[in-house]
């Protein structure tokens, strides 16, 4: 009986060490510089957004109210005079 208890105790020890494999809170991120996402160029993002609005204007030729809303948004946000 004691042998079974000893055997169970010896088998449980390695399982306890496998329980936590996550990162340590104490040491933080290994290299936070590489964890930052690559930032896009704001001018390119705006150009992509304006192109999307132009595409929506072309798609909404059959519904004038929705198209007018997109045209107004395009004029306000993309045509800076």
pTM, to two decimals: 0.50
pLDDT, position 11: 63
**With bands split at pLDDT 50, 70 and 90, how would you rate the model's confidence at 80?**
confident
pLDDT digits (tens, 9 = 90+) for 3-62: 767 666 666 655 555 555 566 666 665 666 666 666 778 889 999 999 999 999 999 999
Q: What is the token pair recorded at 75?
A: 């004029």
**With bands split at pLDDT 50, 70 and 90, how would you rate the model's confidence at 81?**
low
Domain boundaries, the chain: 44-81
Rounded Cα distance, 72 and 64, in Å: 12
Residue 53 burial by Cβ neighbours in a 10 Å radius (0-12, 13-18, 19+): middle
């Amino acid at each position: 009986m004691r042998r079974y208890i000893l055997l169970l105790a010896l088998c449980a020890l390695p399982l306890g060490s496998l329980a936590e494999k996550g990162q340590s809170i104490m040491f933080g991120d290994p290299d936070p510089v590489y964890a930052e996402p690559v930032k896009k160029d704001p001018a390119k993002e705006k150009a992509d957004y304006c192109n999307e609005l132009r595409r929506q204007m072309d798609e909404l030729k059959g519904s004038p109210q929705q198209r007018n809303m997109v045209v107004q948004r395009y004029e306000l946000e993309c045509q800076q005079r």
